[in-house]
Amino acid sequence: MLKKLCVSLMLLAAGGLHAQSPSGDTVLMDMNSCLRYAVHHQPGLRASLVNQRIIDYQVKGALADWLPQVMGNAQLEHYLQPTQTFFPDSLITPGASGYTTFPSTPTNVSVLNLGVTQNLYNRDVMLAARTSKYYRRYAGESVDSAKIDLVVDVSKAYYSVYTSELQLGILLEDVRRLEQSLKDTYNQYQSGIVDKTDYKQATIQLNTARVQYKQALEAVPAKYAYLKQLMGFPVDSALKLQSDSAAMVAQAMIDTAMQLDYTHRIEVQSLETLKALSQAQYDYQRLGWLPSLSFFYDYNLDYGNNAFSKLYSQNYPNSYLGLTLGIPIFQGFKRIYAMHAAKLGTELVDLRLEDTKRAINTQFVQAMANYRGDLENWKVSQENIGLSKEVYTTVTLQYKEGIKSYLDVITAEASLRTSEINGLDALYGLLSDKLDVLKAVGSVDTNIN
């Protein structure tokens, strides 16, 4: 049966089932090739990688506050009314009581400053240092989550296209059977063995089968378009899938006795990271009473002259260094309120984690139940296909010998077609269920070879 399906698919491809690319080339891909392509081209995943880089630069920017901060400043002033200095006349003439004034600053003043600051302790930079690894981890977990969704979605779309093409093979084989059946019935009618009713019934069945084939044929390009969308594949390029049906059946098998481990789920890992960030925020607010300490150094060049053209002819440098200690004494209970809010934020993450674990357990139970049910359905469908083939072959021979009516042939042929399509549907369901189970237990392989 598999050989016949493959031959049918080759005939369909040769008949121009898929539009060719402008160059006339069709890209052949198996599932691993589709996944590799999607990992490098899918816009959603690429956006996650860009967000990861953004967060990395933001973290580096926050950590840069640990490095010395060097600032240069320039200031230029022109006094419209220079500052006056009072000089007591008694210093010149004993007993005098007046004051003599004279300008204490030049009309034009300029200061060039170079300042260096080094944080020794600051809770903002301490928070940045403590949380940097968690922010980077969270960004990486977001990328991993996007990869998991991408692998699952692309794989399901791939299975959908591939089983649809196999279904086309089944329907094409059904059309050919009915064409042969129509010829046999017509010959028997011409020989007077059967009446015209059998010939008309055969015609009806063939027309119906051709319509079903045409409908299935038209549905395949839409499924290809969805697969291309998930992969980020060019819409104007032709894509053709290649795979081994036997290998696909082997891929559908998993160990139904596997157990759920919450720590393998990326959602739980991300919430644990958020909890660590929330705890760091709480500690940041709790230790808000600690002072900040920084070292500074300033070097200044002072210029002054009443004539602007001679302002920078001579400078008077000065420099100094020291420590700055900032002590938060009272902030209107702001730190207390922020600390309580941060504590509640940690509790909120715990509640989300608890609810997520329950949802994961439900997801796992449902996925495993679906898989076990579809596994049994697939096994039965394989048995039904074999039995339907035997029944159809036997009934067809008996009809030719005049033992069975053509209604029996129609029933056997419909049963064979239905069992074969049901077998494909069961295989697709099994493959999809396997992905759901692997996603539920956190075992989706995102390392695409």
Query: Is the residue at 99 inside a domain?
Result: no
Q: What is the pTM of this model?
A: 0.81
The verdict on residue 87 lying in a domain is no
Fill in the DSSP letter of residue 89. G
The Cβ of residue 88 has, within 10 Å, a number of other Cβ atoms equal to: 12
Secondary-structure percent of the chain, ordered helix, strand, coil, rounded to 5: 65, 15, 20
303 domain-assigned: no
Question: Structural domain tally of the chain?
Answer: 1
**Listed range (105-109, 195-199, 267-271, 294-298) with the worst mean pLDDT:** 195-199
Locate 241 and state its tokens.
Answer: 């899938």
Dist CA 7 CA 11 (whole Å) = 6
Residues 6+ apart with CB under 8 A from 346: 275, 278, 279, 282
* Any domain includes 377: yes
Within a domain: residue 358?
yes
Examine residue 408 and state whether it is found in any structural domain, yes or no: yes
- Does residue 6 sit within a domain? yes
User: What mean pLDDT is reported for the chain?
Assistant: 87
User: In this structure, are residues 130 and 66 in contact, taking their beta carbons and an 8 Å threshold?
Assistant: no
> How far is the CA of 98 from the CAs of 12, 45, 84, 102, 327, in angstroms?
116, 84, 15, 14, 47
User: In whole angstroms, how large is the CA radius of gyration of the chain?
Assistant: 41
Mark out the alpha helices in 232-265 (DSSP H runs): 245-251
pLDDT digit string (tens) for 93-141?
Answer: 776 777 766 667 888 999 999 999 999 998 889 999 999 999 999 999 9
Which residues are bridge partners to 317 per DSSP? 301
Helix (H) or strand (E) holding 203: helix 196-231
Is residue 313 scored above 70 in pLDDT?
yes
pLDDT interval class at 428 (50, 70, 90) = very high
Cβ-based neighbour number of residue 448 at 10 Å: 17
In a domain, 20, yes or no: yes
**Strands 108-121 and 84-88, bridge-based pairing:** unpaired
* First-residue to last-residue Cα distance in the chain: 31
Range of the domain at 241: 2-69+121-296+329-441
What pLDDT digit, counting tens, does each position of 33-71 carry?
999 999 999 999 999 999 999 999 999 999 999 999 999
Spatial contact of 267 and 145, defined as CB atoms under 8 Å apart: yes
Q: For the chain, give the percent of residues with pLDDT over 90.
A: 63
**% of residues, the chain, pLDDT over 70:** 91
